[in-house]
A = this chain, B = another copy of it.
Amino acid sequence: MERGEGVKLSTKGRYGVRAMFDLAQHMGEGPVSLKSISERQGISEHYLEQLIAGLRKAGLVKSVRGAQGGYLLGREPDKIKVGDIIRVLEGPIAPTECVSEEDPECCTKAEYCITRTIWERVRDSIAEVLDSITLETMLEDAQKLESERSLYMYYI
C-alpha cells in the first residue's frame, strides 16, 4: 500500500485557478484564446477546454466564439474567489463526505461522532482560506512581487 500525499487537490483545481488568474492578467485585451492560455501556463489545450467548460457553465468565464474569439472573466476579479473556482472544478469542499458543504445527507450518527467535528473544522479552515483570496488580491500580490523584484535590481 503506497502512501501518496495527503489532503490533495487534483490538477483540475490548480489548472483552473491558473487559467482564471491568466484571464485576470489579460483583462482589457479582448477575448483570450484557450491556445494562448495553454501555452503560457503549460497546460494541455484539450484538457483545459474541459475545465473551462465547467467554469463557463458556472458563469465564472464568458466565451466569445469564432475567429479572434476566446474567454473573458465572467465578472470583476474582486468578485471571483478562489473558493468559487475550486468548488466548480472539484465539487463542494469536503475532506470527507459526511461533512460536505452542500450535501445534507449525512451519516446518522452525526451528533455522537467525534471524528466528524474534526473534518468540519478542516473543511471550514480550507474554505476560509480559499474564500479570502480573490483574483483581485492575486493581481495585487503579483504587482507587489513585481515591484519588489525591480527594486532589488538596483542593488545588483
Q: Check: A76 CB closer than 8 A to any chain B CB.
A: no
Shortest beta-carbon distance, A62 to chain B, in Å? 20
User: How far apart are the CA atoms of A109 and B113 in the complex, in Å?
Assistant: 43
User: How far apart are the CA atoms of A84 and B125 in the complex, in Å?
Assistant: 18
| Residue in contact with A4 in the complex, picked from B17, B90, B129, CB distance below 8 Å | B90
Copies in the complex: 2
Shortest beta-carbon distance, A127 to chain B, in Å? 9
B6 touches A86 (CB 8 A): yes
Q: Mark A118-150, 1 if CB is under 8 A from B, else 0.
A: 110110011011100100001001100100000
Q: Check: A23 CB closer than 8 A to any chain B CB.
A: no
Enumerate chain B residues within 8 angstroms of A89, measured Cβ to Cβ.
3, 6
Q: Check: A100 CB closer than 8 A to any chain B CB.
A: yes
Q: Check: A68 CB closer than 8 A to any chain B CB.
A: no
A17 touches B90 (CB 8 A): no
Enumerate chain B residues within 8 angstroms of A94, measured Cβ to Cβ.
5-8
Q: Check: A117 CB closer than 8 A to any chain B CB.
A: yes
Q: Check: A93 CB closer than 8 A to any chain B CB.
A: yes
